[in-house]
Structure 1
Amino acid sequence: MTDEVSFYDAIGGEPTFRKLVDRFYSGVAADPLLRPMYPEEDLGPAAERLTLFLMQYWGGPNTYSATRGHPRLRMRHAPFKVDPVARDAWLSHMRDAVDSLDLPEPYRTTLWDYLEKAAYFMVNSME
């Protein structure tokens, strides 16, 4: 066993990730480019999936994998055109969400760097 605290615990655990995702999806809900990429009328299920994924990724419970299996992020996003414009819109809402947490360094930068790299990785169209 280790005495090292996970990133998940260090930034406040589930409440912090829920705040992050809630803020992010409040921006997505009003975004004319991104909102159509979420076919469910209610953004709640998408928000829950992202929350569970991020919590697991950063050292929280493995509920995401237990309920959905391997993340397979690129495959799950393949049906949607994710071009640089969509990526930048996503990043804009996520930047607002990350900033709203007022995390101390280096946690803020660590979280943002991961999210930024993930957004670039998800681009599947240059059109």
Structure 2
Amino acid sequence: MHKTRMHKNKMYICGMYTKELLKGTLQTIILKLLEDNGRMYGYEITQKVKLLTDGKISITEGALYPILHKLEADGTVTTEEEYIGKRVRKYYTLTQSGKTVTESKVNELADFIKTIGVLLSPKPVV
């Protein structure tokens, strides 16, 4: 079940995991989605995460867009605007250096998850 909280007039939807647990992984999740799907827009990213995780992870706009803006400022992603009727949709795509960053971040997170698995595994009784 999702919990909804109000914080400074912004609404955050919390899935199965706490915001604190997800905070350090959101950038890697976004980068990996862009690597796998190519050009994506913000809402599409949030919906893809929700779909792939069966709703266990929900990325809010308040969490997503600061990361996308940082990635754009760093040169990790480029943006392209497309007009859909009267609305402008901003698409994000990995740059060549963004592909390298993604590979590094995904490897780092995979190794971290493996290490955490070791820490959380029950130790054999000797």
Which structure has more strand as a fraction of its residues?
2
Same fold (TM over 0.5): no
- TM-score normalized by structure 2? 0.30
Structure (1/2) with the larger helix percentage: 1
Q: What TM-score, normalized to structure 1?
A: 0.30
